[in-house]
Amino acid sequence: MPLPAHQSATSAHALLGAAPTPVRQTADAIGSAGSNDALARLNAAMADLKAMSAAPMLQRAVDAIRQEDHKSACEWALKALEQDERSGFGWYVLGIALERAGDFPSSIAAYESALKLLPEHGDVANDLGRLAFRLGMIPQAESLFRHFLARYPDHPEGANNLACSIRDQGRTGEAIDILRPAIIKTPEVAMLWNTMGTIVSDEGDYANALTFFEEALRLQKDFPKARYNRGNARLILGDSAGALEDCDAALDGVLAEDERQMMRLSRSTILMTLGSIGEGWDEYESRLDPQFNDRTQFMIDRPRWEPGMDIAGKTLLVVGEQGLGDEVLFANVLPDVIRALGLRGRLKLAVEGRLVPLFQRSFPTAEVGPHATYDVGGRPTRVIPFVGDAKTVDLWTPMASLLRQFRRTADAFPTEGHHLTADPARVAHWREVLQTAPAGRKVGLLWKSAVNRDARHRYFSPFDAWAPVLAQKGVTFVNLQYGDCSAELAQAKAQFGVDIWTPPGIDLKQDLDEVAALSKALDLVVGFSNATLNIAAACGVPNYLISTPGAWPRLGSDRYLWYPSTRVFLPPAFGQWAPVMDEVAKALGEFAEH
Instruction: Indicate the pairing of strand 346-351 with strand 315-319.
Output: parallel
Whether the Cβ atoms of residue 251 and residue 267 lie closer than 8 Å to each other:
yes
Whether the Cβ atoms of residue 308 and residue 405 lie closer than 8 Å to each other:
yes
- Among 379-388, 452-461, 494-503, which is the least confidently predicted range? 452-461
Question: What tens digit of pLDDT does each residue of 163-180 get?
Answer: 999 999 989 999 999 999
pLDDT band for position 183 (cuts 50, 70, 90): very high
Sketch the domain layout of the chain as residue ranges. Answer: 20-219, 296-408, 424-592
Structure confidence at residue 47 (pLDDT): 55
- Among 38-42, 66-70, 216-220, 587-591, which is the least confidently predicted range? 38-42
20-219, which class in CATH? mainly alpha
Helical H runs in 118-256? 122-134, 138-151, 156-167, 172-185, 190-202, 206-219, 224-236, 240-253
Q: How far is CA 404 from CA 33, 155, 264, 412, in A?
A: 36, 47, 16, 11
Question: What tens digit of pLDDT does each residue of 525-564 get?
Answer: 999 999 999 999 999 999 999 998 888 999 999 899 999 9
Pick the CATH number of 424-592 from 3.30.930.10, 3.40.50.2000, 3.50.30.60, 1.20.1050.140: 3.40.50.2000
The 10 Å CB-count burial string (b at 16+, else e) for 414-424 is: eeeebbbbbbe
Quote the pTM value.
0.81
More confident site: 259 or 435:
435
Separation CA 413–CA 375 (nearest Å) = 36
Cα-flanking dihedrals φ and ψ of residue 481, to 5°? -75, 120
Separation CA 407–CA 403 (nearest Å) = 5
Structure confidence at residue 133 (pLDDT): 83
Structure confidence at residue 51 (pLDDT): 45
Any bridge partners for residue 16, and if so which?
298
Q: What is the DSSP letter of 26?
A: -
> Which stretches of 436-507 are assigned E, i.e. beta strand?
441-446, 475-479
Question: What tens digit of pLDDT does each residue of 281-296 get?
Answer: 999 999 998 877 667 8
Whether the Cβ atoms of residue 313 and residue 298 lie closer than 8 Å to each other:
no
Which whole number is the average pLDDT over 312-339?
96
Structure confidence at residue 214 (pLDDT): 96
Which whole number is the average pLDDT over 583-589?
97
List Cβ neighbours of 351 (8 Å cut-off, separation of 6 or more): 320, 327, 331, 359, 368, 370, 371
Structure confidence at residue 107 (pLDDT): 80
Closest CA to 488 of 442, 496, 518: 496
Residue at 125: amino acid letter = A
> Which stretches of 231-383 are assigned E, i.e. beta strand?
296-300, 315-319, 346-351, 367-370, 372-376, 379-383
Answer yes or no: is pLDDT of 456 > 80: no
Q: How much of the chain, in percent, has pLDDT values that exceed 90?
A: 61
